[in-house]
Chains A and B, each alone.
Chain A
């Protein structure tokens, strides 16, 4: 019972549920309960009809979570970064996993995450959610992350199956070689003094094979592109 219920609710919150604005309702749906929408629906049975007049909102229609968007920049300044993550399923020979829900979040150029500030409207910058396509791919447009004390530059990733059950919580690391994007960005205004490199990072230090390190290309003029594969159980 719980799983079935979760499936339904999880799909809704993940933006998988259909958003059904009033204007998209069929006539028969609309005539059953006008009070909830604060007005009347169309009365004509033809598709060519003057749109009905409505009182001013709110219009309570199903809305996706604010996380569901591909561009997660939210006005944060920094070098453009396109993030391409493919999800593979180990139990299926690492073939692309379609329909997986991928949450990403990372800090801004100054090393700050979006979170509650005292008493103010919450800001959800640099956080997003997408669903993998047939190739297991999700794409986000964001900025190159900054860094903060004690951590190497990274992007958080949480992968769920289509019903919202967690499959993997992980992080993406950045290459640090000479000429790398990381060294080119140079910590924005901060520089790299005091930076924690991957080998000393308490999350990435044990990644001896570099499986958590993405491929990052590009430049500060045209922006950077990150490509990474994550395999889940």
Chain B
């Protein structure tokens, strides 16, 4: 017997238009950290755009990592619960195993350009079947005989199947 084990990744994009207090705090603090850290690679403020820094300022790609420290204390309170993504009952059910911060773009003179993404990647799930537009999923467990609680999930923009593994079991 074979089963499909997948992980899902949700790319949560936050910019100046993002609603919600959590998103606004992440936006403000990641922008402030960008202003601070970018001075290391752009000391004379020769470039205003992050995209230009990436192209012309050596080492500027490290800003993804350096600015990510500003969101760590916002991600921790999520307790590994994947934000925004709910099952067909409207309930949050996914847990992320790791996350990855990236700066999409920014500008030291225009905060409205600032845009970041936090990529949340789920723990392994069993993909049992596809029902209409929905994936029938359950948490991966070693015991394949016991009854499992399932969730039905519709894929949406910025949510993707990140990895797929076919496992054999008896």
Are B25 and A13 in contact (CB-based, < 8 A)?
no
Could you tell me the distance between the alpha carbons of A115 and B40 in the complex, rounded to whole angstroms? 16
Are B33 and A13 in contact (CB-based, < 8 A)?
yes
Of A2, A9, A116, A121, the contact of B32 (CB 8 Å cutoff): A9
Are B68 and A122 in contact (CB-based, < 8 A)?
yes
Shortest distance between the CB of B57 and any CB in chain A (Å) = 14
Tell which of A60-68, A82-90, A134-142, A213-221 binds the partner: A60-68
Could you tell me the distance between the alpha carbons of A67 and B71 in the complex, rounded to whole angstroms? 11
Asked if A10 is an interface residue, CB under 8 A from chain B, the answer is yes
Could you tell me the distance between the alpha carbons of A13 and B70 in the complex, rounded to whole angstroms? 7
Could you tell me the distance between the alpha carbons of A169 and B39 in the complex, rounded to whole angstroms? 10
Q: Which chain A residue shows the least CB distance to B24? A: A60
B contact face: mostly helix, strand, loop, or mixed: helix
Residues of A within 8 A of B39 (CB): 158, 160, 165-166
| Additional 19 contacts, C-beta under 8 A, given A56-B79, A122-B100 | A6-B35, A9-B29, A9-B35, A57-B78, A58-B81, A60-B22, A61-B25, A63-B29, A63-B73, A64-B73, A115-B62, A119-B121, A120-B98, A121-B98, A121-B99, A122-B65, A122-B69, A169-B40, A169-B43
Chain B contact residues, CB within 8 Å of chain A:
20-22, 25, 28-29, 31-33, 35-36, 39-40, 43, 62, 64-65, 68-70, 72-74, 77-79, 81, 83, 98-101, 109, 111, 121
Chain A contact residues, CB within 8 Å of chain B:
2, 5-6, 9-10, 12-14, 36-37, 56-67, 115-116, 119-122, 124, 127, 158, 160, 164-166, 169
